[in-house]
Chain A
Amino acid sequence: MSALSQLYQDVVIDHNRSPRNFGRMQEPDRTAEGYNPLCGDQLILYLRFDPEGYVSEVMFDGSGCAISVASASLMTEYVKGKSVAEVEHLFKCFHGMVTNAVDEPPATVGKLAVLAGVREFPSRVKCATLGWHTLRAALYGDTGHVSTEDKGGE
């Protein structure tokens, strides 16, 4: 498979065309906004916890490229029911995968492995991680704006 078809796999195309958990959440416990000033991608993330402190619901809204929308969409499906520590671990694994820090996608990332192709496109890593950075901002109650440019790159 070419690098391009690795990047735009059917699952990615599908999640871009019909993103899951997309839209505005009523009465979220937390929200955060993420922004990628380089391409104008903008998303708002909504979060609810269950009484035990597990993530019970995640939704996102906004606009972006196929990679950022698909990544955020896949993420919302995958983190549901997880603890903050589990989400953090997952983020680290995912980040390692898309920044080429590991050879093989770790088993923990499961279905998110469809985004492994991003590693061949360094300029797109920020797209793939925008949703995640925003999610973490929401998790840690850091309700300001997250910008991909505040982090000194990926």
Chain B
Amino acid sequence: MTIDVERLREDFPILKREVHGKPLVYLDNAASAQKPRAVLDALDHCYRTEYANVHRGVHTLSERATARYEQARRSVQRFINAASQQEVIFVRGTTEAINLVARSLGDTGLSEWDEILITGMEHHSNIVPWQMLCERTGAALRHAPINDRGELIMEDFYQLLGPRTRLVALTHVSNALGTVNPVRELVAAAHAQGALVLIDGAQAVPHFRVDMQALGCDFYAFSGHKLYGPTGIGVLYGRLEQLQRLRPMQGGGDMISQVTLERSEYAELPHRLEAGTPHIAGVIGLGAAVEYLETLDAAALQDHEQALLEDATTRLQVIPGLRIIGTAQHKCSVISFVVEGMHAHDIGTILDSGGVAVRAGHHCSMPVMQRFGIPATTRAAFAFYNTHAEVEQLVQAIGQAQQLLSGKQQAVS
């Protein structure tokens, strides 16, 4: 099955704009994705016509807003095939989700005997909270290394995984390398050792459908803004029995059932972990994003993205001096690369002047940069609304950057 990309692009108003007088070629999707009209309309509708606080009013607007809010939770539940709505906790994003788990785990008592296992391809948000946890508790942080292709070295992972491992925290898809990890296998192995598993799904959910019940992980975190939804909203999925063990990171309104001046009883899940007035519009917008995605053929979108990845890989790797960082066998449509004699920052600026938006830097994955001995990469991350013509524009723009920085050509205006 094929998709009509031009028609899909109509759903994303921003894709029509120009940058520096050139049509926008938006290839920074791994940092944040653009929003379809369905999401923009849902946000607008929320604030214009059905806005009030949730879970507290008896008036019409509050009931409407609450219904929309909880409908969004059901949509997310369906989208990730969680067993129950109670397993979907709304948080600020992936970062907050991971911090919530790390903080709560510390409260339940870790000792110097315990270990947390991560991998060498994690985003800082799946490293720093664990370092902080280990600092607080004395537990040890271990990391499984990656090979030259940017794949997890399975033997090393299994070696590091043991009876001391309390939790394995790993990314489903690497934001810096595009690598897709064999999470199902890793979850099974971790569970066999009695360890919990948290998966950072920030870069996975935008590219393919995930199934919590099939995956069997204990926690799964992702951000709305990378999934074509609003900023400031994300999801912590947790298996019910694991979420029940988590101590709330924040206390306040909405998360209690009974409060006296001396003590409080906490509310049931999911509210127990959602203290305070939530990001109501954000949740409704995220609901609209996953409902929009459900109208599309996920397999066809994935095929299209894979075709873009293949096309871009083929075209980029023949550019003299260009080296792709991250050549795993299983990849999402994310390509990091370095070009001899050119710094990523300069490439980013020059590409931008041609309307091509890419990310230049360490992508919040400094350990990955260290592993490959480079300060930074340029990263092109394709979404389903990108086209083969845009791959061509990327290739052309890199050629121009090379000319310009080699001093062989004046910048074209």
Instruction: Give the B-binding residues of A (Cβ under 8 A).
Output: 1-5, 7-8, 10, 13-14, 16-17, 37-42, 63-67, 121, 123-124, 127
Contact = CB atoms under 8 A, between A and B. Distances in A.
Contacts of A123: 349
A66 B343 contact: yes
A5 B407 contact: no
A65 B345 contact: yes
Contacts of B374: 40
Contacts of B346: 8, 65-67
Interface of B: 20, 341-346, 349-350, 353, 360-362, 369, 374-376, 404-407, 410-413
A22 to B, nearest CB: 15
A16 B405 contact: yes
A127 B345 contact: yes
Contacts of A67: 345-346
Nearest to A42: B375
Contacts of B343: 39, 41, 63-66
A36 to B, nearest CB: 9
A127 B360 CA distance: 13
27 contacts: A2-B413, A3-B20, A4-B353, A4-B404, A4-B413, A5-B411, A5-B413, A8-B350, A8-B411, A13-B406, A13-B407, A14-B407, A16-B405, A17-B407, A37-B362, A39-B344, A39-B376, A40-B362, A40-B376, A65-B344, A65-B346, A66-B342, A66-B343, A66-B405, A124-B345, A124-B349, A127-B345
A46 B106 CA distance: 46
A89 B141 CA distance: 49
Contacts of B362: 37, 39-40
A41 B412 contact: no
B400 to A, nearest CB: 10
Nearest to B369: A40
Contacts of A1: 411, 413
A145 B406 CA distance: 31
Given A42-B375, A65-B345, A121-B349, A5 B405 contact: no
